[in-house]
Structure 1
Amino acid sequence: MSGGISASIATSRLRAEGMGSNDHAVPFLNQDYEALRQQCLETGCLFQDPSFLAEPPSLGFKELAPYSAKTRDVEWMRPTELTDDPQFILGGATRTDICQGALGDCWLLAAIASLTLNERLLHRVVPHGQSFQEDYAGIFHFQFWQFGEWVDVVIDDRLPTKNGELMFVHSAEGNEFWSALLEKAYSKLNGSYEALSGGSTTEGFEDFTGGVSEMYDLRKAPRDLYRIISKALDRGSLLGCSIDITSAFDMESVTFKKLVKGHAYSVTGLKQVDYQGQVERLIRVRNPWGQVEWTGAWSDNSPEWDELDPTEREDLHLQMEDGEFWMSFQEFLRQFSRLEICNLTADALSEDGLSHWNTIKFHGMWRRGSTAGGCRNHPNTFWINPQYKITLLEEDDDPEDDEVACSFLVALMQKDRRRYRGQGQDMHTIGFAIYEVRDKGCQNVHLKKDFFLTHSSCARSETFINLREVSNRLSLPPGEYLIVPSTFESGQEADFVLRFECLAGCVLSDKDLKTDGFSMESCRTMVNLMDVSSTVIYREYDMDKSGSMSSYEMRLAVESAGFKLNNRLNQVLVARYAENEAIDFDNFICCLVKLEAMFSKYCHFLLVLLYGVESVPQGCWPMLTPMFPTVVSSCLDVL
């Protein structure tokens, strides 16, 4: 369990001061770009990154593993060794600067291509002032959003090459290197180059902007999708699309009209034209690979263009970069399988006239034996998952929407799973369910199994899926609701971040991080804990009379003894006292004794420190007791 109370306080202070924002990014692996660069300039040595070595393990673990056929004869070279006139950015960063190499990360390249459409967003990721000329020291840095905070990633400029050519991302201009260096920084963030192989464009969108993404199945597209796309482009959102594959043999296969299956494209524009006396809706798409391009209607040399007014035709052609093409919107829906939209958050949309969503986020974790309950298919353990209460305060003010409801977006993201690929792990299958809490203003406590056995969800994620993030746009009437994020299977461990976005007013509270404090009756119970028959409590939760209690029932048993636990403390206790997800009587007694001892010491310490007395002044319990779970968990970290 990481960190104690002092570390938590320090982290909270730094965040309150803006650490982790894009303006004050957290140095990744504690590497300070300016300090390292200055050190290199003073010593006259080019930077060599000790945390991402120019060696085979940085390439990958399977197809790009050390000594594999694909990594044989790889040489790491600096741009200054590849060309006489290396440039960081040449003539501005454009979509044509991103050409795919021998790595299956087209999803990332599609995201980078979309990023170049907004110069302000681009330079949040690619900071100004980097060059191969002025104060060159072989060191560069890039900034990425990672699970709620921005991090600054430092790299050296040694890039993997074969036969003097870059292996992976490269620019169409042979002496431009910003895109190759950006890919290297993102590879470092995720553990290796190969960790980037295969993915969803939304990952890149979100890590470049901090935005929240949503996905549409184009076979079941909403009727107003064209309007949704138009509004998204107007808001500065990033959009990507792809064609699903049905087997591994489909990957990168080309359709009859030259679209690549399993390949990530970016959506870059919309246009309505007058065609044969009717309005034709067109959509502009870009293939970051650039070598295979749509050959159907409205492709570069199709006869449809001859029917347009010459001025309009010329205007549309001028709007296209290499690798981009137009197609009719109806054909787009037929040819592509899914659309991904990344909605940008407030700090990414500071320009006047751009509306944005209000964002609230919480960090949580699933831990085997305590908070990893699985989906509703596991009714005995589903209730132990983390729970979050949302209060929808007002309806949307959308003149185009007749629905009397609050629109919001829920996004559940699992953390750091790409970094575990080298250890044989991958994404869990995740999702969430939402329940209406009819008892308005109910006590802020973790709801138990009986509630979920007798109530159905009023909304849920469209599917449980093994992507980094699952998200859905939903609408519900004003009221109080409960969000329960989970893995599909019980007992699967992961850290996650839950983000909730809405246009109208809302309140989101974590039912697991805080309690409302202990009631006076609970305090009396704690003080007299040693007089309570722990044997009776234990027997009550030893359901099968086996002599041991399931760790999933730990929270209920300890509550019966007078302690209300948050998720973190429950996880600590289970990790400390459970064996194979079971707790025997001796460990249960030890747990209660430790809790009672911690509570007594905590109360005595605070009373002396704050009041100089040995007993609790009347009315002071509400101020003291909410801190108890944090103090106990910190003590247990050490003891």
Structure 2
Amino acid sequence: MPYLLHDSKLRPPPLPQEARGTHSSGKAYQELKQECLRSGCLFEDPDFPANNASLFFSEKPPIPFLWKRPGDIVKDPKFILGGATRTDICQGDLGDCWLLAAIASLTLNEKTLARVVPLDQNFGPGYAGIFHFQFWQHNEWLDVVIDDRLPTFKDRLVFVHSAERNEFWSALLEKAYAKLNGSYEALKGGSTIEAMEDFTGGVGEMYEVKKAPNNFYEILEKALERSSMVGCSIDTSSAAESEARTPFGLIKGHAYSVTGIDEVSYRGQKVQLIRIRNPWGQVEWNGPWSDKMKFEDFKVHFDKVEICNLTPDALEDSTARKWESPGGDEHLSKDFFRYHASKARSKTYINLREVSDRFKLPPGDYILVPTTFEPHQEADFCLRIFSEKKAITEDLDENVAIDLPEPPNPTPSPQETEEEKQFRALFEQISGKDMEVDAEELEYILNTVLKNTKDIKFKKLSLISCRNIISLMDKIFLQFDFDKSGSMSSYELRSALKAAGYQLNNYLLQLIVLRYSDEQFQIDFDDFLNCLVRLENASRVFQALSVKDKDFINLNIGERTVCVTAAFHSSCHFTTAKAVAIKHFVPRLKEEIFKACLLSGYVITQEANSQFDLRVTSTLATFGKKGS
């Protein structure tokens, strides 16, 4: 059974969620349909217009297509005629046999089909020229709205069509999937397993038939019993072999769907049979047992099998929680893997959307390490774990730990650079005999010297920063600016803070990035210094108020030092990008606002504190409107 990453606390089971609308207007299918019915106009989709841009992006149509609605093609159009079956799918002039193989498998499960193809659609009463279909992508269900204008030539559909000329569900489904991918041309050549996953939210597996396990027949049998979707294909050795026909009527480089598997008795012996379907609706296996084939013949002639396993939660949105890792995780050295041998691992890195594998492991505690081929590849990903028995999964976040050693005395370099000589001369000129400067003088010196440096990117050091520098000055910024960009990314920030003695969990690091970064989520030298100073101040305040061996403090109303409104109104400059990011934290922000304000370094009086709740609610409401 499946287990997603989740909190160890007991939580109620997630409720099924409606598919998220994707139309640019922000309106859902029913709302758009009602608008058309009130106006008496048929729906025309501006997001996927009836022109060549929706057909091809790299070439012109080979023939002039006319976009027509089903009612303009036949007199009595039907959405589904006599039930949706695999025989309703015939391939047109587009090379999307991989998609059709997935659609054919989709028809074998009525519940799965009804999720992708809502059945309460027709060309009868309430018809408004608008249809919708639902697909699973990036761990959520999406609702794709289209109009029913289809590309035709001489009153015949150019692409996918049904064997019955007045049935249109398969053609409209193909159009919705083309819209999801950008154009019809985007469907030329693809992976059957990806289409199956988009239709079900299931987990895909790929087998090389010649290397399949001994119980491969049982694997396929169980998969079909559980309504999993199965496809197969024959490899090609060159482009010339693409769609070449074998002597037994099979097509190379072509996607087939597996629609059945069975064992029968024949002349006193058990014979294992498998049924495959060509999306073309013709050109089938012409060997023994046609139109089925013996499983032994199947293993000889086919090279690849793809299985999309349906999960108990495949038709629902049941994500237990999100796993967030700001700035990436700590880089694991070679020594880590040298002393912690892996018990199982996926195959070599491959350019596929999903990677899955089966492992047999003894009971125990395991660490799962997701990786990318190149470092610092930022992306969202969904990790799903299926186990025969219940397994508990947890996010191994770091505990917050602060180490504040006394700052070391700087050792002079053996030979000064020209920049250091310039700095020393200017310092001696301004500091005088006592060799001391105040914050205003330090501001002038640093801005004069640093404005010509290429190592650090900044606009101007503020007086507040210079005051902070007098108390705390560190070379960590340049040390951990790995790409020498003059600013620090969230990846570099995690390492820099750890070197400075601040081990923070993901949530606190997210708050720091949102507080101190610019629109590109980069942190310049000035903000990095302010961040260090305020972290130290917050840490020392916490240490002063904490009880020994306790990782929390209790505050009375006089000790409660928070200032949310100042942090929002006078200090934080929100860009559109940061507004979108921060809106994600609004539900949790009010609960943990004390942490955020300590990091910002603000203090308010007891009088101001009495208006805290009202001001927070007002600020967040206003901010939500601005960021939307």
Q: With structure 2 as the length reference, what TM-score do the two structures score? A: 0.68
Question: Cα distance 1:262–1:493, how it changes in 2: closer, same or farther (>3 A)?
Answer: farther
The answer to whether the 8 A contact 2:511-2:596 is kept is no
**Residue of 36, 43, 66 corresponding to 1:40:** 36
Deviation, structure 1 residue 627: 6.5
Give me the whole-angstrom Cα distance separating, in 1, the residues matched to 2:18 and 2:526: 47
Question: Cα distance 1:95–1:569, how it changes in 2: closer, same or farther (>3 A)?
Answer: same
Q: What is the aligned length?
A: 491
Deviation, structure 1 residue 264: 1.2
Task: Report whether the alignment pairs 1:564 with 2:501.
Answer: no
Determine which structure has the larger strand proportion and give its number: 1
Question: Cα distance 1:42–1:476, how it changes in 2: closer, same or farther (>3 A)?
Answer: same
Q: Which residue of 2 aligns with 1:178?
A: 169
For 1:157-556, what aligned pairs fall within 5 Å after superposition? Answer: 157-299=148-290, 325-348=291-314, 371=328, 384=330, 450-452=335-337, 454-490=339-375, 492=377, 494-511=379-396, 515-516=398-399, 518-519=400-401, 534-538=473-477, 541=480, 553-556=492-495
Deviation, structure 1 residue 348: 4.7
Question: Cα distance 1:487–1:544, how it changes in 2: closer, same or farther (>3 A)?
Answer: closer
Deviation, structure 1 residue 609: 14
The aligned amino acid for 1:462 is K
SS at match of 2:125: coil
Q: Which residue of 2 aligns with 1:137?
A: 128
The answer to whether the 8 A contact 2:516-2:527 is kept is no
Q: CA RMSD in A?
A: 4.4
Task: Report whether the alignment pairs 1:587 with 2:524.
Answer: yes
- Shifted more, 456-465 versus 175-184: the winner is 456-465
The aligned amino acid for 2:182 is G
Q: Which residue of 2 aligns with 1:24?
A: 18
Deviation, structure 1 residue 346: 1.3
Question: Cα distance 1:94–1:292, how it changes in 2: closer, same or farther (>3 A)?
Answer: same
In structure 2, the gaps of 5 or more residues are 1-11, 408-466, 542-551, 563-590, 601-619
Give me the whole-angstrom Cα distance separating, in 1, the residues matched to 2:394 and 2:34: 44
Deviation, structure 1 residue 107: 1.3
The C-alpha deviation readout for 1:21-45, integer Å capped at 9, x for no partner, is: 4x51111233311111111111110
The answer to whether the 8 A contact 1:110-1:240 is kept is yes
Deviation, structure 1 residue 524: 12
The answer to whether the 8 A contact 1:111-1:266 is kept is yes
For 1:78-97, what aligned pairs fall within 5 Å after superposition? Answer: 78-97=69-88
SS at match of 2:143: strand
Is the radius of gyration larger for structure 1 or structure 2? Answer: 2
Deviation, structure 1 residue 556: 1.6
Deviation, structure 1 residue 613: 3.9
Question: Cα distance 1:542–1:490, how it changes in 2: closer, same or farther (>3 A)?
Answer: closer
- Shifted more, 258-267 versus 79-88: the winner is 258-267
Give me the whole-angstrom Cα distance separating, in 2, the residues matched to 1:340 and 1:279: 26
Q: Which residue of 2 aligns with 1:614?
A: 559
Deviation, structure 1 residue 575: 11
Deviation, structure 1 residue 89: 0.4
Give me the whole-angstrom Cα distance separating, in 1, the residues matched to 2:335 and 2:469: 29
The answer to whether the 8 A contact 1:114-1:238 is kept is yes
Deviation, structure 1 residue 454: 4.2
The answer to whether the 8 A contact 2:477-2:528 is kept is no
- Shifted more, 559-568 versus 156-165: the winner is 559-568
Give me the whole-angstrom Cα distance separating, in 2, the residues matched to 1:475 and 1:37: 51
Question: Cα distance 1:34–1:359, how it changes in 2: closer, same or farther (>3 A)?
Answer: closer
Question: Cα distance 1:298–1:145, how it changes in 2: closer, same or farther (>3 A)?
Answer: same
Deviation, structure 1 residue 218: 0.8
The answer to whether the 8 A contact 2:86-2:104 is kept is yes
The C-alpha deviation readout for 1:79-100, integer Å capped at 9, x for no partner, is: 0010111110001101011111
Deviation, structure 1 residue 491: 5.2
In structure 1, the gaps of 5 or more residues are 1-14, 300-324, 351-357, 372-382, 386-446, 618-622
Q: Which residue of 1 aligns with 2:463?
A: none
Give me the whole-angstrom Cα distance separating, in 2, the residues matched to 1:361 and 1:218: 37
Give me the whole-angstrom Cα distance separating, in 1, the residues matched to 2:484 and 2:141: 51
Deviation, structure 1 residue 499: 2.0
Deviation, structure 1 residue 531: 8.3
Give me the whole-angstrom Cα distance separating, in 1, the residues matched to 2:312 and 2:468: 49
Deviation, structure 1 residue 130: 0.8
SS at match of 2:380: strand
Question: Cα distance 1:481–1:522, how it changes in 2: closer, same or farther (>3 A)?
Answer: farther
Give me the whole-angstrom Cα distance separating, in 2, the residues matched to 1:602 and 1:38: 58
Question: Cα distance 1:542–1:78, how it changes in 2: closer, same or farther (>3 A)?
Answer: closer
**Residue of 68, 92, 100 corresponding to 2:91:** 100
The C-alpha deviation readout for 1:138-179, integer Å capped at 9, x for no partner, is: 011111112211121111100111222211110011110000
Deviation, structure 1 residue 455: 3.3
Give me the whole-angstrom Cα distance separating, in 2, the residues matched to 1:259 and 1:558: 61
The C-alpha deviation readout for 1:421-445, integer Å capped at 9, x for no partner, is: xxxxxxxxxxxxxxxxxxxxxxxxx
Give me the whole-angstrom Cα distance separating, in 1, the residues matched to 2:193 and 2:386: 16
Give me the whole-angstrom Cα distance separating, in 2, the residues matched to 1:626 and 1:217: 56
SS at match of 1:35: helix
The C-alpha deviation readout for 1:549-600, integer Å capped at 9, x for no partner, is: 9985542221122142539849958995899x9x9xx935532424655897
The answer to whether the 8 A contact 1:257-1:294 is kept is yes
Give me the whole-angstrom Cα distance separating, in 2, the residues matched to 1:170 and 1:451: 56
The answer to whether the 8 A contact 2:78-2:168 is kept is yes
Task: Report whether the alignment pairs 1:54 with 2:50.
Answer: yes
Give me the whole-angstrom Cα distance separating, in 1, the residues matched to 2:67 and 2:113: 27
The aligned amino acid for 2:313 is D
SS at match of 1:485: coil
Indicate the percent of aligned positions where both proteins have the same amino acid.
Answer: 51
Give me the whole-angstrom Cα distance separating, in 1, the residues matched to 2:324 and 2:209: 32
The answer to whether the 8 A contact 2:105-2:230 is kept is yes
The answer to whether the 8 A contact 2:534-2:599 is kept is no
The answer to whether the 8 A contact 2:204-2:308 is kept is yes
The answer to whether the 8 A contact 1:602-1:631 is kept is no
- Shifted more, 494-503 versus 224-233: the winner is 494-503
Q: With structure 1 as the length reference, what TM-score do the two structures score? A: 0.67
